[in-house]
Structure 1
Amino acid sequence: MSRKPDPDDDAGHERLRLDKWLWAARFFKTRTLASDAIDAGRIQVNGARAKPSREVHVGDQLDIQAPEVRYSVIVQALSGRRGPAEEARRLYAETGDSLARREREREQRRLAPEPSQMLHGRPTKTQRREIDRMRAKLRGG
């Protein structure tokens, strides 16, 4: 008796949907988020824009613009199963340029001033009166 192939068990197949691979490789938390990123043009396969149903193959180069981070990876293996992070890292190899760029961006974020320190807070009573006077002048009063 032969076993019917499970559509979710894509580990042994040579083809896999791009949105499913991105989810399994842990670039996105859900397949829906992966699909939305692909539709928005934030994912490129071999330099070309792709659709969520596009099949990804071993050796394909993916440019991935995830929230706040940009990756350039080469597909090393296919898996439709979302496993531990250690397992997910074996599905791809990040290019040297991508690693260097991410490190530079991380350092820039670390050295950037704290966003809350860029704000000066609420105006003092004197500053508030000055603001009111300027608004009155602009209104012609």
Structure 2
Amino acid sequence: MRIDKYLWSIRYYKTRNMASEACKKGHIRINGNTAKPSREVYKMDEIIVRKNQINYELNVLDIPPGRVSAKLVDIYRKDTTPKEAFQNTELLRLSKNLYREKGLGRPTKKERRDIDDYLDESE
């Protein structure tokens, strides 16, 4: 089975076209090599899928006959993605919301209200 069809059938991508585009951009690796969309997938292949700034690591257990339901996905692949990958993205998301360097433009409305409240309290 082709890699784009495999990733579509185990529900990593919503459409085959999205899976094919990810292959063309170099986001899919099979056994350490960048894969084209037409690359065949076999049992025991190791696939790395870069999606949403996370490198998902998959092992192919079996080839599905077509697109399978979400409950049956674990029959055809084993997800070996380390937990640290998910924790790093959570930290990135939280740090973007809280950290703002001085001098990066005008304050937002909320920041302006907070400044006004602080100045009113100090007087």
**TM-score with structure 2 length normalisation?**
0.73
Q: Which residue of 1 aligns with 2:117?
A: none
The one-letter code of the counterpart of 2:86 is E
Match of 1:121 among 105, 108, 113: 108
* Structure 1 residues 80 and 52: alpha-carbon distance in aligned structure 2, compared to 1, 3 A threshold: farther
Runs of at least 5 residues in structure 2 that lack an aligned partner in the other structure: 101-105, 113-123
| 1:58 is the counterpart of 2:18 | no
The Cα of 1:62 is off from its aligned counterpart by 0.4
For residue 21 of structure 1, report the CA deviation from its aligned partner: 0.2
Segments of 5+ residues of structure 1 without an aligned counterpart are: 1-15, 125-141
Give the alignment of 1:14-53 within 5 angstroms: 16-53=1-38
Q: Please, what TM-score do these two structures have when normalized by structure 1?
A: 0.64
Q: Which amino acid aligns with 1:17?
A: R
Q: Percent identity?
A: 30
What letter matches 2:33 in structure 1? A
Letter aligned with residue 93 of structure 1: K
Instruction: Give 1:108's aligned residue.
Output: 91
Deviation of 1:20 (Å): 0.3
**Number of the residue aligned with 2:59:** 74
Partner of 1:5: none
Total equivalences in the alignment: 106
Alpha-carbon displacement from aligned partner over 1:37-96 (angstroms, at most 9, x marks no partner): 00110000000011111110010000100133320111111114222212123221122x
Partner of residue 99, structure 1: 82
Give every structure 1 segment of 4 or more consecutive aligned residues whose post-TM-superposition deviation is greater than 6 Å: none
RMSD: 2.5
